[in-house]
Chains A and B, each alone.
Chain A
Amino acid sequence: MMNTICKLVAGCLFLAGAAGTAARVNVVATTADFGAIAGAVGGQFVSVTVLAKPAEDPHFVDAKPSYILKLNRADLLIEGGAELELGWLPPLLDGARNPKLAAGQPGHMAVAEGLALLEVPADLDRSKGDLHAQGNPHFMTDPENARHAARRIAAGLAAVDPAHQAAYAANLAAWLKQLDAHAAVWRQRLAPFAGARVVAYHDAWPYFARRFGLKMDVFLEPKPGIPPSPAHLAEVIATIKREHLKAIIIEPYQNRRTAETVAAATGARLVDFAQYPGGLKGTDGDYLALFDRLVNNLAAALAAP
């Protein structure tokens, strides 16, 4: 009697274990943009977890024990690379002790590899203020780089799960087609504003500006992380008034009151921006929906009289 019960229990456990592990590839993405694309490319064969919250500054993620657990159980880790996650990911990986995610393993990929990044310092001289020695890591603000990311993520999935390679390739092709369709609309919406100067709180959007022919070189922060000084703000306000600039980009984790003050003093509009799907309401897990919103918000502000 006891014996049969033991066998039954063991059998059930085995089945449950098999169903839980064999079915899906466990993907951990550091930020929501990679998570969204991994979900689109992986489809039913992957289960995706994202570590940084969409509205959280990806340079400073508050670690929680569950992050280590998730990394411990992951089959594939997708990080941006280029020092974006430098402050918090390495110690979490130390704690997770997952050999699949060791550097150089197929289970650990950095999307930035193979991309030409902007703002790569010519020489590593601290005095010039190189926050990122390998270039600006916010490359996903250019939809063309999302194309690169999707290709790399599909290749990464195929490497850890060769059985579903064909499905990943098909999903990739479908997503790239969607991206092309959306990108055509984005270009068209922003085309009338080519060359327009846009104010930003923080220098996080050089890729976006380059792609859509905008000039983003006026920042509310005199330097990354330094609160705006009165003289600097006065200068920004004067520039906005002189050139009739219309839009100030602000992200969820930036100081909104400063931006509101400048907007009130100049008549420029605040434009809600976010780098990660979910950072604006209604864009959860959808890179394309996020960029639809960004482009529409910005176009509306720039079109204002």
Chain B
Amino acid sequence: MNEAFQIMLWPLVACLVLPGILIYLGLHIIRREIIFVDLALAQVAALGTCVSILLHHEAHDWQTFAWSGVFTLVGAAIFTLTRPRERRVPQEALIGIVYVVAAAGALLLLSRSPEGNEELRKTLVGDVLLVRPAEIAIVAGIFALVGLVHVVFRRPFLALSFEHGRAAGRNVWGWDFLFYALFGVVVTVIVHLFGVLLTFSFLIIPAVCAHLLVRRLAAQLAVSWAVAALASGAGMVASFQLDLPTGAAVVCALGLALLLVGLGRGLRRRGRSVAPTPPADGP
């Protein structure tokens, strides 16, 4: 048991502390119906990394961070400009297009780079089992700053996501751009530690569970955090006991949590509709 604790301690800490901001952003993302925007932004940031590698910078040079940062901002600008004003084309379509074009663009760029794909694979996709305490501290610091911005400017951000921008005032574009830029930073940073699957799951699944169960934002936050924490714990235990890849185990635990929430909700509804027997056919 002691050994289990030693090995799973930092992955568990990472899964309890870092997804906090992901969960909150997930509530926004679901309301905005832009589920795959995280994958698209991460891919656009990766395109920036490719450009940097092509210019012969190392994957961990500051220039590489700068390039992927610039590309993240470009991605944020794209999604700001495509905010649907009239519903001719759903924004999800554009998000998907940005994702595949960025991914294919990365392949094209890398085919001109001597290192090819391997360098990129090594740097972009993390594994939650291998997180180091220092990495958790740095990422937690970045997330705290992003969280602070979201707390200070919560009114325009919430208005944009939850009231379709009606209350945001005139500066919709500016707030939208800031939202996507911060979101891009969060996703790019966390994918380095968690990998793509786990990042996406933490972003979406707890928020979906919360939307199924409760209405008020504060309650949704509480439910999401509880779901994420419980599923992380269960995933860690399963990963250790059955010796499974840790990230994938937590993803499946989150999926299972959603299944249980869905079943529970279905049973509750049935209970409600059965209890007061409809008198329609009765004598």
Contacts and interface: CB of A to CB of B under 8 A. Distances in A.
A229 interface: yes
Interface in A83-135: 87-88, 91-92, 94-95, 97, 126-131
A63 B244 CA distance: 9
Contacts of B127: 62-63, 88
B132 A224 contact: no
A68 B6 CA distance: 10
B243 A65 contact: yes
A95 B7 contact: yes
A186 to B, nearest CB: 30
Contact of A65 (B115, B132, B246): B246
Contact of A127 (B10, B56, B110, B121): B56
A226 interface: yes
A66 B246 CA distance: 11
A66 B245 CA distance: 10
A59 interface: yes
B111 interface: yes
Contacts of A72: 3, 6-7
Main secondary structure of the interface of A (DSSP, over half): loop
Contact count band on B: 20 to 34
Given A62-B245, A72-B3, A87 B122 contact: yes
Nearest to A59: B118
Contacts, number: 86
A28 to B, nearest CB: 15
Contact count band on A: 20 to 34
Interface string B1-29: 00110111010000000000000000000
B115 A131 contact: yes
B282 interface: no
A92 B56 CA distance: 29
B107 interface: yes
9 contacts: A62-B245, A63-B127, A65-B129, A65-B243, A68-B129, A128-B114, A129-B114, A131-B116, A226-B110
**A-B complex: 3 closest residue pairs judged by Cβ atoms:** A129-B114, A225-B117, A91-B130
Interface of A: 59-60, 62-66, 68-69, 72, 87-88, 91-92, 94-95, 97, 126-131, 221-227, 229
